[in-house]
Structure 1
C-alpha cells in the first residue's frame, strides 16, 4: 500500500480590510484501503489560539501539541480531501470532549461522559486472603469497548500477578544476579507508578505520561531502582461509534553502573495483555499479519495481530488490533499467545508482543530505549485489509509538504 501524502498548498490571501491568511492543504490518496486516523500539521509561526481548521464549511476539532508546535486532528475518509486553516480569524471554540479524570486511584480516559480506558496509579491489593505481595500499581485496566464490554482482566486466580495491560521484564540479570519483575509472588521485583509527568484533555484525544520505576528487591540490602520508565498513553477519536485507538509508548533507561541484561524468554517487556475471563478456546480467535491463528501464532513474528472474541451479549464480536512499530527491537515482533489447551483446558486468552522472546537484550547504563505500540479497540469485525491499513498508517505516517504560493 502506498503512503498517504499530505500536500499542503500554502496560499496567502491579503484583503484590504482584514489581512487574513489562509492555508489550504489537500490529502493525496494513494492506492489501497483508507482509514480514519490522526494527522498532524506543523503550525510554523502560526498562533494556535488564532486559527480555525475547516473542511469546506465544517469546523474541524483539533488538539495543539505545545512540545512540537503541531495541531492534531482526525481525518475522516468521508470528508472532502481539502482542508483549510484560517489565521487571524476568530478561533472557533471546540469543546474538549476527551478527558483524563482521576477517580479513586484510577486515571480514566473518557469520551464524553463514558469511561473507556483506565490507568491504575494508586496501589491495588489482591482479594482478601491472597498474599499482599501481589499488590501493584502502574498498569492499564480496564479497556472497555465502545458498547461497554471490559476486555482486560486483573488478578486471575491462575495468575495473581496478571494486571490488564502491562510490560514488566521477566528473566533479567543485574551483575550476576537474576531478578524477575513479572512474577510478583517470587518477591524479586516489581514495577510501580511514581508520578505523572503530564495529563492531557482535548477535542480529539486524551492521555498521560507516567513515570514508573522497576524496583529490584534482590541484589541490594535495600530496594533499588533498576529501570526508569516513562509510559505514554494516548486515546484517539476515530470519528466512529464502533472503534477508538490507543497509542502506547514505553521509554526507559537504567541508572545501574553495569546496566541490565534482559535474557531471552517467552514472556517479558513489550506489551502484554490478559483478556477477559469470558473468552476461552471456543469463542476467541487470533489472526496475525503473517496469517497465523490461535493454534500457530505463539513464537512467530508479526507486524500486527487481531485478537477477537464473543461479545458479552452473545450477539456479536469485539476485540483489539495490536500494532508493532517498525523501529521496535526485533520487528516484525515475536509474540506469546497462550496455548489453546492451557488453564486446565479452558484456553484463556493472553497475548504479548515480546521483543526478547528469541534473543537477549543488553541495556546499557543511562541510554534511552523505546518501544512503540498502537491498539485499535473495536466492535464487530475488523478485516485483515483494515488491519494492514492501520499498520501502514502507524509505521509510515503521512508526510506533510508545504508549497508557498
Structure 2
C-alpha cells in the first residue's frame, strides 16, 4: 500500500463514524498529531482559534490538546458544517507574543472543563450561561409591552438582558424615552419594499417589525455555546403582511478560561436574504442596523462612548470605526460597565459609520449613512460582529482584540504518521 493510501486509511480510522479498534493505540490519550498556532502582528491572549479537520465526516470520539511544556489539558470543540470540513476550535490559554508559535499535541479523550457554555430554554428565551453565570438571553417569545406603553411596542427577536462577569445588566428593555430600543437588535429604518415606504425600526409606526420565526439549532460545549435562529422582517404596509427578509442569526458565546475574566465575549453573524423576488431598498439614512441600547439609568452625564479612532459622544457620531464602546453607570457612586462592538472587515461598507446618539445610551453600526443601497434576491447581506461585555470602562487592549478577531492567527494541523501495524 502506498503512502497516500496508508494516510487516508489512518484518517478514516481516526476521525470517521466507523467505530474501529486499533490494537496498538489505546482509546484514551492516543496521539493523533500536533496543532501549531502562530500569533499575528499583535499578541494573542485567551482568544478562539480553529483549524479544519481533514475528514468531512462527523467526529464521534472526544479529543483534547496537551501543552507539552505545562502538560495542561486544553478542551476542544468540533464544529460540523454541511458540505465543508469539520472545524476544530479551542481557546488558547495564556498569551502568545506577536509572531510567536506554540505547538500543542492532539490526543483522544476529553479534557476536563472547569465550566461549559450551556443554553437553557426558559419557555420565553434562550438563556446562554458560562458555568453558573448568565451572559445573555435571546427572547424568542413575544414580550408584551409594559401596561403604560402602547401594545405595539411588544416584540421578540432581541437580546436582553446582557450581563457582565460581575453581574451588572448593561442592556435595557422598553426604555421610557424610546421604547422600541429593546436590548440588542438589528433593524432598518428608512426602507422601500414593493414601492411602499416601510420601517422595521420604529415599530409603533405599524409599518413593519422584526420577529422570531424558528429555532434552527443550538449547541453547548467547553469552548462555545451556539444558537442559530431565523428571524423575519415583516412588511405591514400592503393589503396583507408580507415577509420582506429572512434573517439567520448565529449567536456564539465563547468560554473565557480565566477564573475572573475582564469580559464575556460573543459573536453574532447576520445572514439577511430576500424572502421573495422583491428586493428591499435602503435609501440613505442616519441610523439603522446592528444596535444596542445601554442600561436603564444611563444618562448623558454618566454614559461614555469611545471609538477606534479615539472619538467620543461629542465628536464621534458617524465615525467610520472598527469598534465602538459604550460604558455607563446609574449613579456617580457606582463603577462603570458596558460593552464593545467589534465590526468585521468583511462587512458591507467597512469601516461602517457608527451612530452615537447625542443624549441617549445607544449606538448602531449603520451602512445607510453612506448612501442608498439594497438587498437583492440571491445576494444576501452578511454582517459579522463581536461583542465584549465588560466591567469597568472601555478595555485598554481593544485594538489587540479587534486584530485577533479580524485577522485570526495561523493554525496548522499535522497528523501523526501511521505505525507499521496500521499500514
TM range (shorter): 0.7 to 0.9
- Structure 1 residues 305 and 196: CA distance shift in structure 2, 3 A: same
Query: Could you list the per-position Cα deviations for residues 301-331 of structure 1 after superposition, in whole angstroms to 9, with x for gaps in the alignment?
Result: 1011122223779353222121111111111
Matches within 5 A, 1:347-358: 347-358=359-370
Give the distance between the partners of 2:195 and 2:95, measured in 1 at CA.
58
How many pairs were matched up? 380
Query: Could you list the per-position Cα deviations for residues 108-150 of structure 1 after superposition, in whole angstroms to 9, with x for gaps in the alignment?
Result: 0001122210000001111114221111111111100011110
Pick from 175, 178, 197 the counterpart of residue 194 of structure 2: 175
Say what the alpha-carbon RMSD is for the aligned residues: 2.4
- Structure 1 residues 104 and 22: CA distance shift in structure 2, 3 A: closer
Pick from 365, 375, 379 the counterpart of residue 391 of structure 2: 379
Between Structure 1 and Structure 2, the one with more strand by share is 1
User: Is the contact made by 1:37 and 1:74 (CA closer than 8 Å) also made in structure 2?
Assistant: yes
Deviation at 1:78, TM superposition (A): 4.5
Question: Hey, what does 1:226 align to over in structure 2?
Answer: 244
SS of alignment partner, residue 403 of structure 2: helix
Pick from 40, 45, 50 the counterpart of residue 35 of structure 1: 45
Pick from 273, 278, 294 the counterpart of residue 258 of structure 1: 278
User: Is the contact made by 1:96 and 1:201 (CA closer than 8 Å) also made in structure 2?
Assistant: no
Question: Hey, what does 1:184 align to over in structure 2?
Answer: 203
What TM-score results when the alignment is normalised by the length of structure 1?
A: 0.87
Deviating above 6 A after TM superposition, structure 1's stretches of 4 or more consecutive aligned residues are: none
Give the distance between the partners of 1:307 and 1:274, measured in 2 at CA.
9
Question: Hey, what does 1:164 align to over in structure 2?
Answer: 183
Question: Hey, what does 2:411 align to over in structure 1?
Answer: 400
Pick from 267, 288, 298 the counterpart of residue 268 of structure 1: 288
User: Is the contact made by 1:96 and 1:204 (CA closer than 8 Å) also made in structure 2?
Assistant: no
What TM-score results when the alignment is normalised by the length of structure 2?
A: 0.84
Give the distance between the partners of 1:157 and 1:75, measured in 2 at CA.
43
Pick from 92, 98, 101 the counterpart of residue 75 of structure 1: 92
Question: Which blocks of at least 5 consecutive residues in structure 2 are unaligned?
Answer: 1-10, 12-21, 418-423
SS of alignment partner, residue 269 of structure 2: strand
Deviation at 1:16, TM superposition (A): 9.2
User: Is the contact made by 2:39 and 2:409 (CA closer than 8 Å) also made in structure 1?
Assistant: no
Question: Which blocks of at least 5 consecutive residues in structure 1 are unaligned?
Answer: 1-11, 340-346
Give the distance between the partners of 1:358 and 1:65, measured in 2 at CA.
36
Question: Hey, what does 2:253 align to over in structure 1?
Answer: 235
Deviation at 1:48, TM superposition (A): 5.2
